[in-house]
Amino acid sequence: MEVSFTTATCSLIMVSLVMLWAWKLLNWLWLSPKRLERLLRAQGLQGNPYRLLVGDTMEMFKMFKERNKCQQSMSSLSNDKDIAPHVFTFNHYIVQKFGKNSFLWEGPTPKVIITNPEQIKEVFNRNNDFEKPKLSPLIKLLGTGLANYEGEKWQKHRKIINPAFHSEKLKIMVPTFLQCCDYMVSKWEGMLNSDGKCEIDVWPFLQNLTCDVISRTAFGSSYEEGKRIFELLKEQAELVMKLRNIYIPGWQFLPTTTQRRMKAIDRDIQASLKGIINKREKAMKAGQVLNNDLLGILLESNYKEIQEHGNNKTVGMTNQEVIEECNAFYIAGQETTSVLLVWTILLLSRHPDWQARARDEVLQVFGKQKPDNDGLSRLKIVTMILYEVLRLYPPLVYFNRAIHKDVKLGNLSLPAGVHVSLPILMIHHDRDIWGDDATEFKPDRFSEGVAKATKGQVSFFPFGWGPRACLGQNFAILEAKMILSLLLQSFSFELSPAYAHAPITVLTLNPKYGAHVILHKL
């Protein structure tokens, strides 16, 4: 009798657990998405009807494949053509189909597209209501770091990292920018024909250059080890993007050859960074002053924070967290500047009048002398050009935020479980905001600064905006100014007939077929 009672109890528990699991699955796959859809439609938001589990994913994937097939024909596009339909294909399609008040489905999660500058401002300012979405296991392999933390952890890391990007610290980096760029200029000069010109794809050179810069500025004397880490991160990013393009749910978690390689890369990166950090910590304990690179400044700031709280290590960053921030230095630092520079060179190649104006300014400020920090701060035309490039070709084409509790956003009531998307590229190209010439290269729109160009609206945010704006944006702009100044002093450039205009998002907005230009030695 007692055995029967125990068996019956166990059976009842098992049935209850199965029913609970089934209910949660039903709620996740169907009931919750349909409830959220009703709430969004009741406020006038439009989108495709929810499809079980996949949402818009299959349609998105189909459109992605079709875009890749026809992208070869984009060689006929000029740099003044609106690239949003080709780069931001599905989001652009949804907005064209349903209007600016629309949403799309990423699996069972509805994502509301926010294009109103006032609402964008609210999203950026209200950190606690609009948080970064949880990273997928795939993206975590590229590192987390400050950009993906929330609450107290974000505040702690921001405080510790902030000194590394102070203007006085950035000045220390300028000679490194100069040294790395000089090396690339020498390479290009060695490739010139007897008539003083040559045709090259500048994209891999710029990637190597910014890799060299971030390796040296982040790790100082350990830059060779740093460059190896970057190569591993680059391979990891390519593998992550490859798996992200597979739409079969759960496919990316199978123990495939690709997955095993990704895990091996992650272990290698972690071990290499740990070795660099351990050596640096030993040197610091031995009394050596090593605060002239990003890692040294970060470790020094972290050490001071711990000391100020009575040697309480819980207030500082752990070694693992320092490793994550180093990953972030690498990916954000290298990617952002390389894409900014490549689109700048391509646009100046297409617009020789602006190239000449930029060169005249550089020669007026520096002559044939090497650029310095003081002179870089006086480059108004170069700054206008870089802002316009960031407007037309922002490194990231969108930001996402997650909502974990019901919130009001302007006239919208957004329920918990919804995500919002801030489509940077589409807003930067919006004719209602920027005028009929929104897709044209016109740097003089920034002649009186960003605030005047945007009429005080939050409609230009290549590095984010508000409290969570990217800490490294001044680093990226300073590096770009230095490199562009040196190139303008040494060469003029024009587009090669071999250039095919095909912007594509990998991690950032890249030229799919490279950046072929003809260099002329000055």
DSSP states of 363-397 as a string?
Answer: HHHHTTSPP-HHHHTT-HHHHHHHHHHHHHS-SSS
Q: Which residue's entry shows tokens 């495939």? A: 256
- For residue 522, the Cα-to-chain-centroid distance in whole angstroms is 34
Assess contact for 240 and 265: CB atoms under 8 A.
no
What is the pLDDT, as a whole number, of residue 225? Answer: 83
Average pLDDT over residues 63-79: 63
Average model confidence (pLDDT) for the chain? 89
Residue 73, pLDDT above cutoff 50: no
Q: What are phi and psi of 197, to 5 degrees?
A: -140, 160
What is the pLDDT, as a whole number, of residue 257? Answer: 87
With bands split at pLDDT 50, 70 and 90, how would you rate the model's confidence at 437?
very high
Give exposure, 386-423, as e/b (b: 16+ Cβ within 10 Å). Answer: bbbbbbbbbbbbbbebbbeeebebeebebbebbbbbbb
For 403, which DSSP code?
A: -
Catalogue the long-range contacts made by 254-261 (C-beta closer than 8 Å, 24 or more residues apart): none
Q: Which residue's entry shows tokens 């740990």? A: 274
pLDDT in tens, 460-476: 999 999 999 998 999 99
The whole-model pTM stands at 0.93
What is the pLDDT, as a whole number, of residue 289? Answer: 66
DSSP states of 475-513 as a string?
Answer: HHHHHHHHHHHHHHHHEEEEE-TT----EEESSSEEETT
Q: What are phi and psi of 521, to 5 degrees?
A: -70, 130
Residue 249, pLDDT above cutoff 80: no
Alpha-carbon span 424 to 87, nearest angstrom: 12
pLDDT in tens, 114-150: 999 999 999 999 999 999 998 777 677 777 788 888 8
User: Which range scores top for mean pLDDT: 296-300, 478-482, 507-511?
Assistant: 478-482
The two tokens of residue 429 are 């190209």
Quote the longest CA-to-CA distance of the chain: 101
Q: What are phi and psi of 388, to 5 degrees?
A: -65, -35
With bands split at pLDDT 50, 70 and 90, how would you rate the model's confidence at 296?
confident
Which alpha helices (H) appear in 220-351, and where do they start and end?
A: 223-244, 257-285, 294-308, 319-350
DSSP states of 441-465 as a string?
Answer: --GGGGTT-HHHHTTTSS---BTB-
Assess contact for 397 and 86: CB atoms under 8 A.
no
Residue 245, pLDDT above cutoff 70: no
With bands split at pLDDT 50, 70 and 90, how would you rate the model's confidence at 416?
very high
H or E segment at 63? helix 57-70
What is the pLDDT, as a whole number, of residue 278? Answer: 87
User: Which range scores top for mean pLDDT: 76-90, 206-220, 320-334, 477-491?
Assistant: 477-491
Assess contact for 92 and 85: CB atoms under 8 A.
yes
Average pLDDT over residues 296-308: 86
Pairing between β-strand 419-422 and β-strand 109-113 as defined by DSSP bridges: parallel
Per the model's pLDDT, the better-predicted residue between 502 and 319 turns out to be 502
Assess contact for 334 and 211: CB atoms under 8 A.
yes
What is the pLDDT, as a whole number, of residue 273? Answer: 86
Alpha-carbon span 435 to 352, nearest angstrom: 24
